[in-house]
Each structure stands twice: as C-alpha cells, then as structure tokens.
Structure 1
Amino acid sequence: MAELDAFPAPRSTRLELETDYTLSRSAIRQFAEHGFVKLKNVLSAETIAAYEPEITGKVIELNTQPEPLAERDTYGKAFLQVTNLWQDSERVLEFVSSPRLARIAAQLLGVQSVRLYHDQALYKESGGGVTPWHADQYYWPFSTDRCVTIWVPLQETPMEMGPLSFAAGSHTFEYGRDLPIGDESERVLQEALAEQNFPEVSEPYELGEVSYHLGWTFHHAPPNTTSIPRRVMTIIYVDAAMTIAEPVNANQVADLAGWMPGNEPGDTISSPLNPVLY
C-alpha cells in the first residue's frame, strides 16, 4: 500500500504529468523503424526535482543489495534495481500513473490503451559497471511485441555516467532473444549485432529527455565513471489488450507470478498490479 505523502508535489508538476505531449510523426516513424526513440523536453526540470528525492529515498530504503560493488557479478555491478516503487509511495504513484507518459507509449505502440506492467528504478552507482546487451522481453511472457519501456533519467546524463545505448533496428533481429542479461549476452550480442550492421546509438541525455524502447530492442549501457550515481526511473507499459503467453523460461514464470498475480497463460492481463494508465 502506498504511503500518504505529507508534502505533495506542487500542483504545476502534477498538472504537467497529466498534460498531453505533442509527439511528432517523425518520432513515431523513428520508433517503428529503429525500435526506440529519444524525446526532448518530455518533463520539466521542476517536475523532475519534485519527484526525484522521493524516488531516490525509496531506492535507498527498499534496496536489498547486501554485497559491496567489488564483490558482485557483472549484472550486480550494472545497477541497483528496485521494482514497483508505486506500491510504497503516493508521490511515486503519481509519477508512474502519469497520463502524459502513458499516452506517448500508446501512440508509439499504435494501440488504443496501455496498462502498467511494473516500474523499475535503475541506479548505476559511482563505479558501477557495464549494463550488458540484452532485450527486456526475454523476461516477459507476452503474446505480442506491443510492450515498451520509458527510460527517465533523473539528472542530466553525460556519456561518463552510463546512458542507455541502442542497436537501431534490432527489434527485428530474433537471434539472441533466448539470452538473459549477463557476460554471455554482452559477448554474443556485441558480435552478432555488429555483424548485422545494426548501428549503435549512444548519446547523452539532457535533463527532461527520455527514451522509449520496444521489448525486443537490444540495448546496453557503459559504466558510470563519475563520482555520483546515475539515477533513472523506468516504467513498462503493455497493450491493455495483451494476452499472456505460456512462459518459456524460469524468469518468465517468476514474472507471471510476481507482476501479474492471479493471471494465467491465455488470460488478458488484468491483475490489480496492472491498472490501465491511458
């Protein structure tokens, strides 16, 4: 259950999260062709400042990583990961429920309505390592590819901080979809994507700039060589009419149980954790 916030976000920032963002035809076309798109000025500096302290505080409070950075494996060094923060904070619930962000997802996917799958805070610590090449949908038991992640940096993110990088057009590439994130996916996909001439798009993010990428778009991120954490909030959206596929690996079994409790393969997603957001 989300906690009531004694200091609610200013009305102006809540209003921004409810106001439509003008998405250009070229952005929709780029998303369809490349499997991702970066969008500038989606959020104002004021809105990010209103929600970042609460998100960061919940990451610190709820993080369960016990090992020092140097003692973790490659995946553990990539980032601190805390999921479904919206269940623990009214302020985060406002952010995750944003009609502005969800409407963009629906427009890019070409669907009438989207549901929440779950949220993830991904904080790459100072000295945090590479995020290996992977595709998110390896973990998700969905019947179609109509699912998308928004990646929202909570600060300006230069290359030294480890911004997300994409293999443009790789959402059409089926090789490597059976690889979980780790050393093998980094090695195998780095080579395979280069052989197929998928351009790697690796650029900094301005404050307020966000990206949306499809579940099958391969992506990774470089290390954080700065002295401060790279703070990122993500939200995963799915077509509201999405049906659940039979899980094909243990991770999908766990995701079905954890993120869609009470649902079964063949069902339309309808658990209490998956409300319609737009």
Structure 2
Amino acid sequence: MSIAAEAEQICRPEFPLAAHGKTLPAERTGWLMPTDPVIGVDPIRRRYQHDGYVWLKGLLPRADVIDFRHWVFERLAETGLVEPGSDFSLGIASAGGFDRSLADRRLMSLVRSAAYEGFCAQPLLVRFMDDFLQGISYLHKRKIMRFVQPGSLTATPAHYDLVYLRGGTSRLVTTWIPIGDTPAEMGGLVYLEGSHALGTKMEAEFRAASGDLSPEEQISAYNSHMSEGGWVSKDLPDMAERFDTRWLAADYEAGDVVLHSPYMIHASTINQDRSRRLRLSTDIRYQNVDDEIDVRWNNHWSLGDML
C-alpha cells in the first residue's frame, strides 16, 4: 500500500486534541499528507512550496533516532524526569516529581553536546538539505530540543518562524524531528492548513507598518506591533474558524522529518499519552550558506534568550 493510501486509513486520536484550555473540534481538524522520500527532491520541493510543509516518512534510520532518544533520557534520568528502572528509549515519565531546575541545566548541556550536533547534522540529512536547498546547506547554531510531560499544560501557541529570524534570509527551512514515535495525542506539531500564504500576508503587513521602529525593533519578535512573544494566537479553534481552515495533525514515527516554511503557522497540543511517554523533539533551521544569516542565531539556544 502506498503512503498516500495509508494516510486515508490513519486512525483518529482516541480523544480530541487540546491546547491552552481549548479543544480542537473534529470539523476543524485534519491530517498531514505524508511524503515518501523516494519520490525525489524536485517533487518534494514542489509539494513544500504548494503546501507550506512536507512530512517525510522514514527519512532517517529509525534505530538511530530511538538510540538518540535513549541517550537523551539516560542523561536526564538523574533529574527524576524518567520512571526509575524503565527503558530509557521508551521515555516513560516518572510518576513522582522531578527537579525542573536541574533538568533545564542538563538540557542546556545536551544541546551543546557533540552527540546532539551529530544527530542534527547527520550526513544523510545534510545531503538531503544540500539537494533541497540547491546549494551548500548551513545549519543554524541555535538548535532547540524539548521534552513535554504527559498531563502537562505546556503547548506552543500558534506562530510562524520568520518572526524570530527577521535578521537574515526568508529562504530558510525549519526542520522538525520527532525523537521517537509521537502519535497525535502526544502533542506533536499541528499546522494551520494553507497558512503559509496567511503568514506571508501578516509579515508584509508588519513590514509596512514598522517604519516607526528602530532597526533592532524591526527584527525583534518583542516589539510594539507584535502580540506577546510573537505569537499569532493561543486560541487554536478560533484561528481555524476565523480563517475557515483546519489544524492538521499527524501520527509521527521515529525516523520522520517535517520541513516547513518560515511563513507556515503552526503550534503544538498538550501531551495526553496514556502510556505516560514523554514527547521529545528537536526543531532546527537550515538555509543556503550563501544567503544572509541572522547573527542572533549564531549562539547556542539558552532558556530565556528572547528568540
């Protein structure tokens, strides 16, 4: 069976997706279309340009992704985050509390590690990005890795990425990698269908209205013309209704990679996994090395760095 045919048979989540105290209604929820990488880079690029995203199934070796998941949680175990005695590759959340401060410090160490750099810049992915970007690809130094506990109210509000990268080219590509199987109920990324056109319009309106801002403010997500933190909205159902569209979710698997446009509006939902698995993912940015690079992203990610 083809991947496209399989997409028609994807099971819906066992319960509705939710974020920020609001539930996504079934009529405003849809599913991402998976893409088999074997179709070739040119059709992949065309699909990305048309849809604003491309969900590449099994681009990376599944075993390598699971091994990296094990490596991360093994190093976070001392914080109390992971269930004692459990398989680290499963990433089962501890039933008790954990030391959040220690976990944050350890996470900042992990994103500076050679192992994480190697995962984000593994040769297979770099070669693909070279082809996709039609040149030599550049990986931004600021790379983000997140874990989300089951039952946590943590969810990323709706936004488009260029808000945080205005100091460089707009021809960058966000690469989102689920580190482990991440069915929709675990709270992976959701995308507002067709919203790359909407994000482009919003950014053009911002630029037209930003003449009264200093150069520093014009590239900042935290300025007088932007909503709090650069978010578009925390009310996902309202956004889908207002723009008469749907939020697209997916049952991601280890080895999958999602590329999305810097104008594509996306968010996350809360982790409702009943097996108590921690969601683990990384979002990184690639661009052509010959294009202008936002110098603010030439430092490692730090909590509270205002980007």
TM-score class, shorter = 0.5 to 0.7
Aligned mates of 1:206, 1:169 — CA distance in 2: 23
The answer to whether structure 1 residue 237 and structure 2 residue 275 are counterparts is no
Which of these two proteins has the greater Rg computed from alpha carbons?
2
Structure-2 change in CA distance of 1:60 and 1:212 (3 Å): farther
1:116 is matched with which residue? 139
1:136 to 155, 158, 161: 161
2:34 is matched with which residue? none
1:41 to 58, 77, 83: 58
Please give the TM-score of this superposition, normalised by the length of structure 1: 0.64
Aligned mates of 2:127, 2:167 — CA distance in 1: 20
Structure-2 change in CA distance of 1:107 and 1:23 (3 Å): farther
**Per-residue deviation at 1:102?**
2.6
Q: Give the partner amino acid of 2:57.
A: K
Greater RCO, 1 or 2 (C-alpha within 8 Å, sep 6+): 2
Structure 2 gaps of 5+ residues are 1-36, 80-99, 207-225, 301-307
8 Å Cα contact 2:66/2:180 also seen in 1: no
Count of residues in Structure 1 that have an aligned counterpart in Structure 2: 212
Please give the TM-score of this superposition, normalised by the length of structure 2: 0.59
1:32 to 29, 49, 53: 49
Please list the CA deviations of residues 101-146 of structure 1 after superposition, one character each: whole Å capped at 9, or x if unmatched.
23333444x4312211122112111112332111122111344321
**Per-residue deviation at 1:199?**
3.8
Q: What do you get for the CA RMSD once the two structures are aligned?
A: 3.2
Structure-2 change in CA distance of 1:163 and 1:199 (3 Å): same
2:116 to 80, 92, 105: 92
Structure 1 gaps of 5+ residues are 1-20, 63-75, 246-255, 262-270, 272-278
8 Å Cα contact 2:175/2:259 also seen in 1: yes
**Per-residue deviation at 1:193?**
5.1
| SS of residue matched to 2:44 | helix
Q: Which moves more between the two structures, 53-62 or 170-179?
A: 53-62
8 Å Cα contact 2:66/2:254 also seen in 1: no
Aligned mates of 2:58, 2:48 — CA distance in 1: 17
Q: Which moves more between the two structures, 141-150 or 113-122?
A: 141-150
2:181 to 134, 153, 156: 156
| SS of residue matched to 1:208 | coil
Q: Give the partner amino acid of 2:48.
A: F
1:260 is matched with which residue? 298
Please list the CA deviations of residues 65-84 of structure 1 after superposition, one character each: whole Å capped at 9, or x if unmatched.
xxxxxxxxxxx9xxx79568
Q: Percent identity?
A: 23
1:5 is matched with which residue? none
The answer to whether structure 1 residue 169 and structure 2 residue 207 are counterparts is no
